[in-house]
Chain A
Amino acid sequence: DAMVIQNPRYQVTQFGKPVTLSCSQTLNHNVMYWYQQKSSQAPKLLFHYYDKDFNNEADTPDNFQSRRPNTSFCFLDIRSPGLGDAAMYLCATSGDRRAFFGQGTRLTVV
């Protein structure tokens, strides 16, 4: 059974049109992460939450925002997607000694 679920699996958005990616977890983990992964590269950490405590990476563009309304859900908002934001976006959780990833959302910007 999937424990970290990302929706949608594939998202196409227009240049400059805001888009939201969602992530939910059934593990009750208190840490959640958002990563951006471009082809054949390592996942790049954008931000992470420890409970409601938000931690932004210094090099994460302001164009990327996140919300965590409760333990189970976390959202990634891209305010004005550019062509360079096309990537796989991965959500992960950690707790109980393990880190789990969702299947990712592949974002295409047209």
Chain B
Amino acid sequence: GEDVEQSLFLSVREGDSSVINCTYTDSSSTYLYWYKQEPGAGLQLLTYIFSNMDMKQDQRLTVLLNKKDKHLSLRIADTQTGDSAIYFCAEISGNTGKLIFGQGTTLQVKP
């Protein structure tokens, strides 16, 4: 089946690193994504990783993928108050083509 799980809440201090974790069950996943959603806004694609990659870095963002454990993480370096939002992990199933979301992690950044 297709299931994506995330922890619901993370609180960090400004300037610290944030690590948001995600696990998934679909072994046919092809692409995995991180989206950011600010209050009242749509979903903003932050980054994505192909399932045959282990790591992807994009400025302050680092995505790590452990395909064996079906674990995905998003690290935000030097977290800023503007990073406060809900972060959704999502995967595209290779079998069904569906884009499936986790429950979202609310990131709170304290000054």
Contact = CB atoms under 8 A, between A and B. Distances in A.
Contacts, number: 60
Contacts of A104: 41-43
Contacts of A92: 43, 99
7 contacts: A33-B98, A40-B86, A45-B98, A99-B31, A99-B33, A99-B48, A104-B43
Interface residues of A, number: 22
B24 interface: no
A42 B88 contact: yes
A53 B20 CA distance: 35
Interface in B9-65: 31, 33, 35, 41-45, 48, 50
A94 B48 CA distance: 12
Contacts of A88: 42
Given A45-B100, A48-B97, A101 B92 contact: no
Contacts of A50: 97
